[in-house]
Structure 1
Amino acid sequence: MELRQACRAAGIGTVAASEHTGRPRLHRALPALSARLVVSLGTPMDIRYGGHARTMQAVVAGLMRPGVATPSLTLRPHQPIVYVDLSPMAAQRLVGVPLSEVDAGGTGADVLLPWVSRLCEELADQPADQRESLLRIRLLERLEEAARLDVSRDAFEALKIIGLSRGQMSVEELARRVHLSPRRLRHVMRSALGVGPKFASRVARLSAAVSRAGQGADSWARIAAESAYHDQSHLVRDFHDLMQTTPTAWLAEEGRNLQGRRHPSP
């Protein structure tokens, strides 16, 4: 099986290796229904989350939590970073504990993944254009060796449906799809993942809106309507609550990553 296909089947999503140029700048993690592994191959990373600043070489971040915005990272010049999105199931198998126990702002990866320091050394020794494929190979190897935890698969199936529906499915319909009562669904999701279906749907909705902006939608009002928000001000409130910024400010921060795409009008 081709490497990328094998990774997708195993729950390994986006993998990126990059090195920032220019002045230091803030990068906010986007809202997502996935976990993350982020590793610096140079100086340690400065990460802010929940009003606290930490310095870490490598972090594993769990799913977002209600009441706290996504973590932010200060990108510094000549600081090579490798990043990977992991499905909740894959992340749980790698770390060996339920995701409800993994800090959404990032836990030092050496605490949960004792092999990560060796991986950092191996990646640092590789040419930049070969780091992505090596990371994919090593993660596949680790997932093949990992044990499966006895955690309700209903929670993962519900989260998958929420993502596919872009957060636009009611809790009642979601519960029906996974053959649980709404109350039982809330319990199994919070126990396994640390979030309930309502909050997960909110994250999925904002993630879909951010994706539409990156694809070149012509206005935030249209994005709000197509992403099941009541109106544009509702979308702005979610940007503030989940990312501690506004749509316009986010575009100013991330505009360089959207080159060649039409930016939404205010």
Structure 2
Amino acid sequence: MPTPSREFVRATLAPGGPVVSAVGYRTRGQTPALHRGLPSPYLTLIFSLDGPIASGLTPEQARGGDAWRTEIVLGSLHQRPAYVVQPEHEAGIQLAVHPLAARTLFGLPAAELTGQVVCSGTDVLGRAGVEVHERICELTDWGDRFGRLAAFIKGRVARSEGASGVRPEVAEAWTWLARHRGAGTLKGLAAHVALSERRLSTLFRVETGLTPKQAARLMRFQHAKAAAVRAVAAGVPPDLARIAAECGYYDHSHLVRDFHQYTGASPSAWLAEECRNIQAGAHGGGEDWDA
């Protein structure tokens, strides 16, 4: 039996561009398992290099005949985990895409993806997406694959230059929330962009599919989860009470409630499940790993 192997390669496709992070992954000889794809303040785009990825809203769906199966996966700004089948062998590239870049890259606002936790990236990207997927599957070097994807994204950005369609108030509101790591108030946010709370919430939801409060919760959870992951990667038990306080939660119980909503498990249970991925480097930099 071959020795199990796990490879993760991180890259920066275009600093300051629509792609927040890019990770190439390849595993061989692993025990088949079920992985939780967690909610995130980013859209997830995965190009599989090893056949269709099977996923679902429940473990039963992911493993059953009605699983979502696609070689280009596009994940929305969802509010609960998706379940992803991890076979013995898998490979691909996962991109975290800024939701306000959805119009630029996909030709539609992130809000139009909200009703679908996972959809086929082929349907959204069209023939151009199929062609870039075929091309990166033919390549064998990670650098060449990332380079091809970077060229593809650059081309889509160039074609939509000056026509993002995102209202400046919404863009500034997202930036403000990110700067405050999801810990700011709606009142403070509305005052910052000079809109009423109701008007801001309406515009924000039309663009992203989320209310500002939901986006803030996702950002806050992302930072708390990243802090817990860093502790585990360093071999230190995470101090959840301290993490909760530093990330703007009311208390430890508040953080645990968000973990249950977004992962379907307690913090300790989720970290135990992900320990192998964390140690292998899949969670480097605190980004979620959904493939």
Asked whether the two chains share a fold, i.e. TM above 0.5, the reply is: yes
Is 1:106 equivalent to 2:106 in the alignment? no
**TM alignment of 1:108-257, pairs within 5 A:** 108-114=120-126, 115-130=128-143, 131-146=145-160, 148-216=163-231, 218-257=238-277
Give the match's secondary structure for 2:85. Answer: strand
CA distance in 2, matches of 1:75, 1:135: 24
Instruction: Specify the alignment match of 1:264 in structure 2.
Output: none
The yes-or-no answer on 1:10 pairing with 2:14 is no
Report runs of 4+ in structure 1 exceeding 3 Å deviation: 50-53
Q: Distance in 2 between matches of 1:94 and 1:50?
A: 29
Q: 2 CA distance for matches of 1:208 and 1:227?
A: 7
CA distance in 1 between counterparts of 2:49 and 2:188 reads 45
In 2, the alpha carbon distance for the partners of 1:215 and 1:137 equals 32
Question: Do 1:97 and 1:149's aligned partners in 2 also have CA atoms closer than 8 Å?
Answer: no
1:16·1:83 contact (CA, 8 Å) conserved in 2? yes
**Cα pair 2:13 2:147 within 8 Å, conserved:** no
- Asked whether the equivalents of residues 58 and 83 of structure 2 are also in contact (C-alpha less than 8 Å), the reply is no
Q: What does residue range 32-43 of structure 1 map to in structure 2 within 5 Å?
A: 32-43=40-51
- Structure 1 gaps of 5+ residues are 262-266
8 A Cα contact 2:80 2:263, kept in partner: yes
Unmatched 5+ residue regions in structure 2?
Answer: 1-10, 62-66, 282-291
Contact 1:63 1:194 in 2 (8 A): yes
* Partner Cα separation in structure 2 for residue 129 and residue 35 of structure 1: 22
Aligned residue pairs total 255
User: Shift of the alpha carbon at 1:128?
Assistant: 4.0
2:148 match: secondary structure: helix
**1:129-181 CA deviation, whole Å, 9 max, x = no partner?**
23223222221222212362433232222122212211110000011111111
With normalisation by structure 2, the TM-score equals 0.81
Same amino acid, percent of matched pairs: 29
